[in-house]
């Protein structure tokens, strides 16, 4: 049985969520980051990456901008958010 890259990422993400371990970021911060990203995009879909990171950082000042960008990439890979390259616009799926 072959496992696709997407399936493997999903399996790893589920395992991390069950164990509560994420490299460099405590699980509670990942949960906070997820909730903040969803909250911000629900209120203002189509915002730029810089605006989104700044808005999330305003909610959780202890988060590093690079960590937020990395997390957005994970959400993009998981299909939870979309990114319009032409307009630099992030939105929920």
Q: What is the pLDDT of residues 13-48, one digit of tens each?
A: 676 555 554 555 555 778 888 889 999 999 999 999
Q: Token pair for residue 10?
A: 């999903």
Long-range contacts from 81-85, C-beta under 8 angstroms, 24+ separation: 81/37, 81/41, 83/49, 84/46
For the domain that residue 41 is a member of, what is the CATH number?
1.10.10.10
Predicted TM-score (pTM) of the model is: 0.68
Domain count for the chain: 1
First CA to last CA distance, the chain: 30
Identify the domain containing residue 83 by its residue range.
Answer: 26-92
Query: Which residues does 85 contact at the CB level (< 8 Å), separation at least 6?
Result: none
The reply to whether 5 falls in a domain is: no
The reply to whether 10 falls in a domain is: no
The reply to whether 14 falls in a domain is: no
The reply to whether 6 falls in a domain is: no
């Amino acid at each position: 049985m072959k496992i696709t890259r997407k399936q493997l990422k999903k399996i790893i993400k589920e395992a991390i969520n069950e164990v509560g371990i994420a490299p460099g970021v405590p699980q509670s911060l990942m949960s906070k980051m997820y909730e903040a990203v969803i909250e911000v995009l629900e209120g203002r879909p189509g915002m730029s990456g810089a605006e989104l990171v700044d808005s999330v950082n305003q909610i959780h000042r202890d988060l590093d901008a690079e960590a937020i960008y990395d997390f957005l990439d994970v959400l993009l890979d998981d299909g939870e958010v979309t990114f319009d390259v032409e307009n630099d616009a992030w939105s929920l799926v």
